[in-house]
Structure 1
């Protein structure tokens, strides 16, 4: 038995010595491929960023090229080791499909393909404010598998690219303009009319630099009129590049100051609403 064990170990050792040069060459090739992939992706990303106003697509293409070159280096290393059959199966479409399904990478492949579509379709840019499935925040990055979004309270949310592609996506900042509205209930008293309250509000809105005047001028609709009260719907357009400051905070300030203007003119404001 000891002679058989010695013969088996000796055979394995001889096989290892035979494979060792190929193994060393394969490791060197893989290390070189990773080094070239990092340098080439950085160079490609830098050139694309200089030609693009939005870093989303350049960053995605740089990552994609990096992993493509690493995969190519891995295939060359496998070929040096004599695993040409594995390389051929990976290159073939059937082999790739079997590889993905066999190792339960279906979701990863789906998210990767969705990321490619999002990178070229570009429903959003970096720092755009978007809403997906009730989640609102700034887009910070598009990775090979996930889309990174940061909410206004500082939370980082990693959304699968397939989810972002399939679900309805609301982009609040794509066009740079967004209409805001709110309702104000005015107590007119015995003498005032709804038109007087409307003119007071419009005159105030025309003095705010952050509210667009042309071609989208603010306007007001009379939604309900009682004996002494009127419900007015106020509409105005704002710059949405900075959604939180240019839209949400502006709307809050306008609502407060509209109330002050009406009270200062002798009119009551029993209610303000969305």
Structure 2
């Protein structure tokens, strides 16, 4: 038994020595392929970013090219080691392999394909403010599996690409313009009608440089009136490049200043809200 065991070990050792040069070449080739893939990915990403104002697609294509070159290097390394049949099976049985891989790694494949669609369709750009379900924040990146979003309170959320593709997506900053509105209640009197309050509000809004004017002029609608009060809905357009500061903080400031403007004109303001 000891002789048989020694003979088996000797046979395996001889096979290992015979395979060792090929193994070393394959390892060197694979390391070189990874190094070249990283280098090419960096160069390709840099060239694409210089030609595009939006880094979203260049970053995604750079990642895609990197992994494609690594996969090619792995297949060549397997071929050097004598696993020609394995490589041939991977290429020749692509349909069966795709089915097996797709079934076993359904979520990974789904997120990858969704990432490709998002990269080319581009429903958002880097730093756009978007809302997906109840999540809202700035888009910071897109990779092969996830979309990175940073919320206004500083949290980083990694969303599966398939979710981003399937769910309704609201882009607040795509065209740079966003309409905001709020409700203000005004007390009526013998000399105070809804038209008087509306004119006061519009006169004030036309003096605010941060509010867009023609062709997107601010306007005020009468939503509800009682014998003593009138509910006025105030609408204005703002630059949405920075949604949180350019829109939300502007809206808060306008609400307070409209109230002070009405109070300064002697009008009662019992209510102010969204």
Q: Name the TM-score class by shorter chain.
A: over 0.9
Structure-2 residue corresponding to 1:76: 76
Aligned residue-pair number: 273
Structure-2 residue corresponding to 1:100: 101
Counterpart check, 1:9 vs 2:9 = yes
Q: Distance in 1 between matches of 2:91 and 2:243?
A: 46
Structure-1 residue corresponding to 2:64: 64
Structure-2 residue corresponding to 1:150: 150
Farther-moved stretch of structure 1 (223-232 vs 162-171): 223-232
Query: Residues 31-180 of structure 1 correspond to what in structure 2 (within 5 A)?
Result: 31-92=31-92, 93-101=94-102, 104-180=104-180
Q: Shift of the alpha carbon at 1:91?
A: 2.5
Contact 2:102 2:109 in 1 (8 A): no
Q: Shift of the alpha carbon at 1:5?
A: 0.5
3-state secondary structure, aligned to 1:236: strand
Q: Shift of the alpha carbon at 1:193?
A: 1.1
Q: Shift of the alpha carbon at 1:89?
A: 2.6
Structure-2 residue corresponding to 1:264: 264
Structure-2 residue corresponding to 1:219: 219
Q: Shift of the alpha carbon at 1:25?
A: 0.5
Query: Residues 191-210 of structure 1 correspond to what in structure 2 (within 5 A)?
Result: 191-210=191-210
Distance 1:229 1:241, change over 3 A: same
For the aligned residue pairs, the C-alpha RMSD in angstroms reads: 1.0
3-state secondary structure, aligned to 1:269: coil
Q: Distance in 1 between matches of 2:13 and 2:66?
A: 37
Farther-moved stretch of structure 1 (226-235 vs 138-147): 226-235
Q: Shift of the alpha carbon at 1:94?
A: 1.9
Structure-2 residue corresponding to 1:21: 21
Cα displacement string for residues 233-260 of structure 1 (whole angstroms, at most 9, x for unaligned residues) = 1000000000001111000100011000
Q: Distance in 2 between matches of 1:99 and 1:73?
A: 22
Q: Shift of the alpha carbon at 1:190?
A: 2.8
Q: Distance in 2 between matches of 1:209 and 1:89?
A: 67
Contact 1:89 1:95 in 2 (8 A): no
TM-score w.r.t. structure 2 length? 0.97
Contact 2:183 2:233 in 1 (8 A): yes
Structure 1 runs not aligned, ≥5 long: none
TM-score w.r.t. structure 1 length? 0.97
Farther-moved stretch of structure 1 (188-197 vs 160-169): 188-197
Q: Shift of the alpha carbon at 1:153?
A: 0.4
Structure-2 residue corresponding to 1:234: 234
Q: Distance in 2 between matches of 1:223 and 1:33?
A: 67
